[in-house]
A and B are shown apart, each in its own frame.
Chain A
Amino acid sequence: MIRFHLDGRSGVSPYLQLKQQVRHALRLGLLREGDQLPTVKDVVAQLAINPNTVLKAYRELEHDGLVAARPGLGTFVTRTLTGTAFAAQAPLRRELQRWMTKARQAGLDDESIEALFMTTFRADAQEDIA
């Protein structure tokens, strides 16, 4: 079982935060197939948030094929997010480290590196949407 938290300053809507936390836990192996997610009532009582927010997050996770609701019992994990993507992480990380070294050699400081990464990342994500 995982415990949710909310970051009020992130600008990310609460239902997306809940979704991301479940996906994150799946990716890190903190949640595995068959594990139960906290009940809507528990999340509501713990975080003082709107039940529809939790329902919406769970519905979308279900739509993504990651969890399934069993009426009267709760919501359960049906698929993990580790596996192939997880295996690809190590080489990607090495590549990113090589890139970082190059950036530093070119004279970029931490802030410039972060800004460059974030603008490229956002531009790429926007192209995907558009």
Chain B
Amino acid sequence: MNPVLAAQDLGKRYGRRWALRHCGLEIPAGHVVGLVGPNGAGKTTLLKLAGGQLAPTAGTISVLGGTPGAGPGQLARVGFVAQDTPVYAGLTVAEHLRLGAGLNPAWDAGLAHDRTARLGLDPKQRAGRLSGGQRAQLALTLGLAKRPDLLILDEPVAALDPLARREFLQGLMEAVAEHELSVLLSSHLVSDLERTCDYLVVLIDSRVRVAGETDRLLACHHRLTGPRRDHLPPEHHVVSAQHTERQSTFVIRTEAPIHDPAWTVTPLTLEDLVLAYMAEPVPARERVTLEVRR
């Protein structure tokens, strides 16, 4: 099966600033992929390159085996829900569904109607008068009823309150269980991704720092605490290191077992893991802290 997204040395430059650089990725199909990183890391740029709204400055990208945005066939296979889940404020819910039906050859009218009915969306209601959560659900409904093989969502839940966020993610996960589509979604909140994503891409400062299946990433990253030490064996790749006079704390990536009894080894949460990569020495300018909400 084709990878859902493959990129080689992909880059996008705006004027003199690289929004994304030297991006290499190969994401297998059938995953819910979380794209995480601080604001301004290049998440939206990568998603727009995948959706075909932007053309790369350097390198290549293929999505589901095709070139993003190349022809109606490719466009029909990829759904895109842009940031802030936009809908047309002046159109009613029913008009949105009619519009979707007219624009998408594989439109699943049954799915669209079932979903809006289950969500309690009044077909005659104008989208501008819906709550933020309802608008997001309407945008998700349009994205799903298109029946894409890949659905891309840019910060879909950032503007939602915790309940609406949970309901949105529940709807998305149910759709994944039912229709077996791949999903690529971005968030600057790791807690949103912890349950929903089984593949993680960490993008920091316009580069991919780490990517892989969530379970594998969690299994091969460890926190070591123990007496002060400045060097670790080479098979332990150091992600972050902090020292006091007598104690050292490392976050390491390794496939090898840790035999040294001097270390207390503790597992990392996904949030710890992402934060460890963000704490890696990068140019001090415009380092934005990851927002953490629970």
Q: What residues of chain A have their CB less than 8 Å away from a CB belonging to chain B?
A: 6, 8-9, 11-15, 40-41, 44-45, 47-53, 56, 122-123, 126, 129-130
Q: Is the CB of A129 within 8 A of B257?
A: yes
- What's the A-B contact tally at a CB cutoff of 8 Å? 65
Q: Which of B178, B196, B261, B266 contacts A49 (CB 8 A)?
A: B196
Asked whether B257 lies within 8 Å of A49 as measured between CB atoms, the reply is no
Q: Is B184 in the interface zone, CB < 8 Å from A?
A: no
5 A–B contacts from the bound complex (CB under 8 Å) = A13-B215, A14-B195, A41-B177, A41-B178, A44-B173
By Cβ-Cβ distance, the 6 closest A-B pairs, closest first, are: A51-B177, A11-B267, A49-B195, A48-B170, A48-B169, A44-B173
A46–chain B nearest beta-carbon distance, Å: 8
| Cα–Cα distance between A122 and B267 once the two chains are bound (Å) | 12
In the complex, are the beta carbons of B191 and A8 less than 8 A apart? yes
A49 touches B173 (CB 8 A): yes
State whether A50 touches B166 (Cβ < 8 A). no
In the complex, are the beta carbons of A48 and B166 less than 8 A apart? yes
B173–A50 contact, CB under 8 A?
Answer: yes
Q: A56 to B265, alpha carbons, bound, how many Å?
A: 26
| Shortest beta-carbon distance from B285 to chain A in Å | 33
B residues in contact with A6, CB < 8 Å: 195
Interface residue? B31 (CB, 8 A): yes
| A9 lies within 8 A of B269 (CB) | yes
B173 near A51: Cβ-Cβ < 8 Å: yes
Residues of chain A contacted by B215 (CB below 8 angstroms)? 13, 15, 56
Q: Closest Cβ of chain A: how far from B247's Cβ, in Å?
A: 17
In the bound assembly, the distance between CA atoms of A15 and B169 in angstroms comes to 18
The answer for the CA separation of A6 and B178 in the assembled complex, in Å, is 22
| B32 in contact (CB, < 8 A) | yes
Docked Cα-Cα span, A50 to B269, in Å, equals 17
Q: How far is the CA of A13 from the CA of B200 in the complex (A)?
A: 14
For A122, list chain B residues within 8 Å (CB). Answer: 265
**Residue B174 contacts which of A11, A13, A45, A130 (CB distance < 8 angstroms)?**
A45
Q: Name B residues whose Cβ lies closer than 8 Å to a Cβ of A.
A: 30-32, 166, 169-170, 173-174, 176-178, 191, 194-198, 214-215, 218-219, 257, 259, 261, 265-269, 272, 294
Q: Tell me if B's interface is mostly helix, strand, loop or mixed.
A: helix
Neighbouring B residues of A15 by C-beta, 8 Å: 215
Residue numbers in B under 8 Å from A41 (CB-CB): 174, 177-178
Chain A residues, Cβ within 8 Å of B267? 11-12
Bound together, the chains give a CA A48 to CA B171 distance in angstroms of: 8
Chain A residues lying within 8 Å of B169, measured Cβ to Cβ, are 48
Q: Which residue of A lies closest to B194 (CB)?
A: A8
Tell me which residues across on chain B come within 8 A of A129, comparing CB atoms.
Answer: 257
CB distance from B41 to the nearest CB of A (A): 23
Q: How far is the CA of A119 from the CA of B137 in the complex (A)?
A: 48
Q: Is the CB of B173 within 8 A of A45?
A: yes
Q: A13-B214, A13-B218, A129-B257 are known contacts. Are A52 and B178 too (CB-CB below 8 A)?
A: no
Pick from A40, A51, A56, A130: contact of B257, CB under 8 Å? A130
Q: In the assembled complex, which residues on chain A have CB atoms less than 8 Å from the CB atom of B31?
A: 52
Whether A45 contacts B259 in the complex (CB less than 8 A), given A11-B269, A50-B197, comes out as no
In the complex the two chains form, is A50's CB within 8 Å of B174's CB?
A: no
Chain B residues with CB below 8 A from A13, complex form: 214-215, 218-219
In the complex, A28 Cα to B264 Cα: how many Å?
32
Write out the residue numbers on chain A whose beta carbons fall within 8 Å of the beta carbon of B178.
41
Residue of A nearest to B168 (CB): A48
